Amino acid sequence: MQIPGLSDVTTLLITVFILIVGLIILIAIVKVVLHFFLAVVGGVIVYVLTGSLLFAAIGFLVVAVITTSGRKQKVVYAGQPSSKICPNCKLALAPNARFCPNCGASV
């Protein structure tokens, strides 16, 4: 369907733009739903295996952390922003640290 007063090419470009924006929104919604679903499934599996609601809650949190770990996070050491993180375990380090206190890796 052509938009009155616009050429075929302009109408096509507007249609493609609307489809791309809609697809981006749909992908964002699916990603959020999938993260939540994976966290719930992780909690249910742990509950079925252990019979413990406490372990199920821990399983839920572990899966939630794993599925959201790709997000950029602010690195903080002792309440202050830190630019130094361990290349091995990703722990925030003191600015003058030469070794990671968690895993012992050289930084």
Q: Tell me, what's the pLDDT at 41?
A: 72
Region 65-90: what's the mean pLDDT? 63
- The residue extents of the domains of the chain are 8-71, 72-107
Q: Tell me, what's the pLDDT at 94?
A: 79
Predicted TM-score (pTM) of this structure: 0.38
Question: What is the chain written as a DSSP string?
Answer: -PPTTS-HHHHHHHHHHHHHHHHHHHHHHHHHHHHHHHHHHHHHHHHHHH--HHHHHHHHHHHHHHHHTTS----EETTEE-S-B-TTT--B--TT-SB-TTT--B-
What letter represents residue 71's amino acid?
R
Q: Which residue has the higher pLDDT, 9 or 69?
A: 9
